[in-house]
């Protein structure tokens, strides 16, 4: 059994996953609420919170799986990318456990973990396919085959989740911004306002969201306080639609260019209901197999790290003692 640990940002996570990476026996996520007052994640606060909660989260993951440390045969941990202080907490915990039990350590790339979450959702899934990762820190398209992941295109500025967070902040909504915008947009008419879709007509697979944020800023400046209150749900709906259109347009273009029959969507933004509905409709029209993990597997979690572990190269005991989050 694989004990997996994820601490790349502000979620302290541990899970137990079967050796083939296709089934999670437990998946514990402790979401830090300390950052809401700042409107974004504070790295030092995140690191300290991970230190406080790491042991309890690991104990609960083992208890939920009905297993003990004697049943664990390998320890997987996120080593990149992410907040370096937060990563170091997870890597240190994983190294300590692996060394104490004489187990191999399996370093996992966070982005590969997001894609691997699809294997937990549909265990029969096999490459090749095209994958979109859309989260608060990353927005990119990959071609996935038996050899690994190849970058096809990425954001030139903000990530999609970051654009949603910043848009929510401008609209006076809470943090994290994606769920707040979606909730507000349910009462709005997306056709009331027109927002630009970045790189819409460019013949590439890259993304851009900076122009979208600027457009929202100018629309808000043109409204008085009463106008903002009146138009808030409509602005949120139109803004969300522009983000979804950018993501879906480029994903479908990538699938066509690479003659893919399957597309995978992963990352926190993949939990967005409008994006899921849009892609279900568009992929259905094109005869594409669409795989989107359940919402709890889209946001950061350790089960996805365990799912990626069989695809990663394990470091045998005790060769990992000198490794850290930057060098693994």
Residues 6 or more apart whose CB falls under 8 angstroms from that of 47 comprise 83, 85, 86, 88, 89
The label of the residue with tokens 């504070």 reads 42
Confirm whether residue 134 is marked as ligand binding.
yes
Q: How far apart are CA 137 and CA 314, in angstroms?
A: 26
- In the structure encoding, which two tokens stand for residue 126, read together? 């096999």
Burial of 239 (0-12, 13-18, 19+ CB in 10 A): buried
Confirm whether residue 203 is marked as ligand binding.
no
Confirm whether residue 272 is marked as ligand binding.
yes
Q: First CA to last CA across the chain, in angstroms?
A: 22
Confirm whether residue 35 is marked as ligand binding.
no
Q: How far apart are CA 110 and CA 312, in angstroms?
A: 11
Cis peptide upstream of residue 195 (ω within 30 degrees of 0): no
Confirm whether residue 165 is marked as ligand binding.
yes
Confirm whether residue 110 is marked as ligand binding.
yes
Instruction: State the CB neighbour count (10 A cutoff) for residue 174.
Output: 14
Confirm whether residue 227 is marked as ligand binding.
no
Q: How far apart are CA 34 and CA 122, in angstroms?
A: 34
Residues in binding site for substrate: 133-137, 165, 178, 272
Residues in binding site: 110, 114, 133-137, 165, 178, 272, 300
Residues in binding site for Fe cation: 110, 114, 300
């Amino acid at each position: 059994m694989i004990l997996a640990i994820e601490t790349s940002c502000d979620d302290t996570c541990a899970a137990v996953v079967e050796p083939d990476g296709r089934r999670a026996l437990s998946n514990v996520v402790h979401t830090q609420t300390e950052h809401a007052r700042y409107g974004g994640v504070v790295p030092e606060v995140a690191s300290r919170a991970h230190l406080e909660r790491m042991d309890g989260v690991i104990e609960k993951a083992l208890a939920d799986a009905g297993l003990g440390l004697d049943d664990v045969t390998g320890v997987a941990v996120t080593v990149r990318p992410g907040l370096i202080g937060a990563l170091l907490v997870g890597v240190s915990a994983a190294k300590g456990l692996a060394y104490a039990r004489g187990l191999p350590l399996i370093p996992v790339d966070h982005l590969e973990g997001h894609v691997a979450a699809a294997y937990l959702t549909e265990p029969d899934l096999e490459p090749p396919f095209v994958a979109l990762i859309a989260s608060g820190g990353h927005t990119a398209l990959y071609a996935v085959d038996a050899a690994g992941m190849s970058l096809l295109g990425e954001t030139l500025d903000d990530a999609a989740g970051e654009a949603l967070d910043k848009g929510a902040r401008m609209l006076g909504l809470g943090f994290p911004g994606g769920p707040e915008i979606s909730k507000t947009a349910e009462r709005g008419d997306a056709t009331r306002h027109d927002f630009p879709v970045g790189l819409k007509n460019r013949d590439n697979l890259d993304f851009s969201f900076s122009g979208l944020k600027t457009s929202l800023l100018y629309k808000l400046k043109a409204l008085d306080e009463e106008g903002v209150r009146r138009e808030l749900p409509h602005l949120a709906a139109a803004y969300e639609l522009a983000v979804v259109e950018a993501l879906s347009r480029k994903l479908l273009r990538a699938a066509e260019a690479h003659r893919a029959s399957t597309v995978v969507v992963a990352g926190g933004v993949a939990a967005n209901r409008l994006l899921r509905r849009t892609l279900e409709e568009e992929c259905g029209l094109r005869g594409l197999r669409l795989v989107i993990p359940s919402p709890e597997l889209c946001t950061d979690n350790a089960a996805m790290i365990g799912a990626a572990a069989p695809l990663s190269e394990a470091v045998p005991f005790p060769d990992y003692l000198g490794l850290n989050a930057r060098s693994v």
